[in-house]
Structure formats: C-alpha cells, structure tokens
C-alpha cells in the first residue's frame, strides 16, 4: 500500500483536557530489555491524562526500496499510522557498537519515507537510553539524534536521561527499582508533554 496522503499534520489546539498520546518505541527486541523496562516504568509514571502505548519492532522488515515500491508491508503501514496518531514519541535505545540497533534504524528509515510525507517530520520526540556499562549509551543517543534530526523530527534536547549500570537498577522481573531514575523519567515525560503542547500551539498560531 503506497502512502499517497497529502502532507498533513495532526495539529492539536493545546487543549490540556484532551488525552496526550505518546508512542513508546523500544530499540531493543530483547524480551528482558533494559530499554523496554525504561518504557514500562515510563508508562507507570506518566501523569494523568497521558496515554502511553509501547510497541515492538520485531515485525518490521529491513528497509528495501524494491519492497517499498510494491507498497508498505502491513507492519510498516501500522507503524506509520501509530506515529501519525501520536502526539509525541518516546524512543528508548540501546547502544550497539557506538550506534543504534539495526532494527530501530530500519524502522525509522521506513517511517521517513516518502520524504515529502514523512510521519516523522515535525513530530516531537524524546530519547532515553540504558546500558549495563558506565556511559548509559550516550553514543547511541547521539547517533539516534543525528538520524532523527535528518528526518525533520523535533528532538527534545534536555533533560537527558542516560541510564548507566542498568543491570543494578532492575529487579529480576525486569521492573525498574531505582527511585532516582524513576524520578528522572517522570520529569522527562512532563517536559515532553509541556514542550509538545507549546509546539502544537505555536503551529496553530502560525
Ligand atoms: C552491545 N552493547 C553495548 N553497550 C554499550 O554501552 N556500548 C556499545 O557500543 C555496545 N555495543 C553492543 C553491540 C551489540 C551487537 C550488542 C548485542 C550489545 C551492550 C548493550 O548495551 C547491552 O546488551 C544492553 O543490555 C542492550 O540493551 P537492552 O537489550 O537491554 O535494552
């Protein structure tokens, strides 16, 4: 199915009484993923009025222009629609060899096409990351920011949430136990909602 819609954007009036929808995207496909765990915590910590849907990228194929010419595969069409409907995205990425996992890059490549109608353009995005190492996937975050900047997404600059030594912060059931990290995630969501709403209001005023 080719995406022949005109270039439209969902513009909110900044109405705070409407539920704010965040699409949460884990860059890892691992069942016990720390990054997925951050998003599970985010969903629990989200303020009233904020709805968070966590998706899985496992069904999204590698990007292939030949396949794209035949029309988006069903998983890709669904992914684009989920992005289109979301007020903002929250992406949790691991760092693989100083960059982002291939599955996440493929998904973003699909979402960025066709460029003139990209569902990523103008979309508010916040990034979080976790790593068992000392640096919390800082290079992965940087790589993700570079990709998103190219797509025209609006990426929240601060607060940065980098979760280092993730293995020490989750319990055996995969629940984030560390209170300081939970507080940082809650603050990030609050800023993401406020910032996205002010951006939407700017678009309406323009
Ligand atoms: C890693 N890991 C890793 N960690 C890191 O801090 N910097 C890195 O460059 C890499 N590189 C890397 C490459 C590949 C192929 C794998 C599989 C792993 C370790 C990585 O942070 C760890 O596996 C995390 O647990 C992955 O995140 P999830 O799956 O727990 O969300």
**pLDDT value, residue 201:** 76
Would you call 50 helix, strand, or coil by DSSP?
Answer: strand
- H or E element in which residue 40 lies: helix 34-45
Which of 33, 91, 95, when mutated, tests ligand 1's pocket best, judged by the most ligand atoms within 8 Å of its CB? 95
**pLDDT value, residue 200:** 78
List the residue whose alpha carbon is closest to atom 20 of ligand 1.
Answer: 131
For residue 131 and ligand 1, the question of a CB distance below 6 A is answered with: yes
For residue 35 and ligand 1, the question of a CB distance below 6 A is answered with: yes
**pLDDT value, residue 204:** 72
- Output DSSP code: residue 27: S
pLDDT in tens, the chain (206 residues): 333 333 333 334 356 678 999 999 999 999 999 999 999 999 999 999 999 999 999 999 999 999 999 999 999 999 999 999 999 999 999 999 999 999 999 999 999 999 999 999 999 999 999 999 999 999 999 999 999 999 999 999 999 999 999 999 999 999 999 999 999 999 999 999 999 999 777 777 77
* DSSP secondary structure string for all residues of 108-162: HHHHT-SGGG-TTTT-EEEEEEE-SSSSTTHHHHHHHHHHHHHHT-EE--SS-EE
**pLDDT value, residue 14:** 52
For residue 124 and ligand 1, the question of a CB distance below 6 A is answered with: no
Q: Would you state the structure tokens that stand for residue 184, as one six-digit string?
A: 């940082």
Q: Are 26 and 94 a contacting pair, CB within 8 Å?
A: no
**pLDDT value, residue 199:** 79
Determine the Cα–Cα distance for residues 110 and 124; give it in Å rounded to an integer: 18
Distance 48 CA to ligand 1 centre (A): 33
**pLDDT value, residue 2:** 39
For residue 137 and ligand 1, the question of a CB distance below 6 A is answered with: yes
**pLDDT value, residue 16:** 64
List the residue whose alpha carbon is closest to atom 27 of ligand 1.
Answer: 94
Domains, the chain, ordered by start: 20-205 (3.40.50.360)
Q: Are 121 and 84 a contacting pair, CB within 8 Å?
A: no
């Amino acid at each position: 199915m080719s995406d022949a819609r005109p270039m439209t954007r969902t513009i909110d009036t900044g109405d705070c009484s409407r539920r704010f929808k965040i699409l949460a995207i884990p860059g890892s496909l691992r069942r016990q993923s720390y990054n997925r765990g951050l998003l599970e915590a985010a969903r629990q910590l989200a303020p009233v009025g904020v709805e968070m849907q966590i998706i899985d990228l496992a069904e999204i194929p590698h990007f292939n222009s030949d396949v794209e010419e035949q029309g988006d595969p069903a998983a890709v069409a669904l992914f684009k629609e989920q992005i289109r409907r979301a007020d903002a995205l929250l992406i949790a990425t691991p760092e693989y060899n100083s960059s982002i996992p291939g599955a996440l890059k493929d998904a973003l490549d699909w979402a960025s096409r066709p460029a003139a109608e990209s569902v990523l353009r103008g979309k508010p995005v916040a990034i979080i990351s976790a790593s068992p190492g000392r640096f919390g996937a800082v290079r992965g975050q940087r790589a993700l920011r570079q990709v998103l900047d190219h797509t025209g997404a609006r990426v929240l600059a601060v607060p940065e949430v980098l979760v280092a030594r993730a293995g020490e912060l989750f319990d055996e059931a995969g629940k984030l136990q560390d209170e300081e990290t939970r507080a940082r995630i809650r603050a990030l969501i609050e800023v993401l909602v406020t910032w996205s709403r002010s951006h939407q209001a700017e678009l309406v005023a323009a």
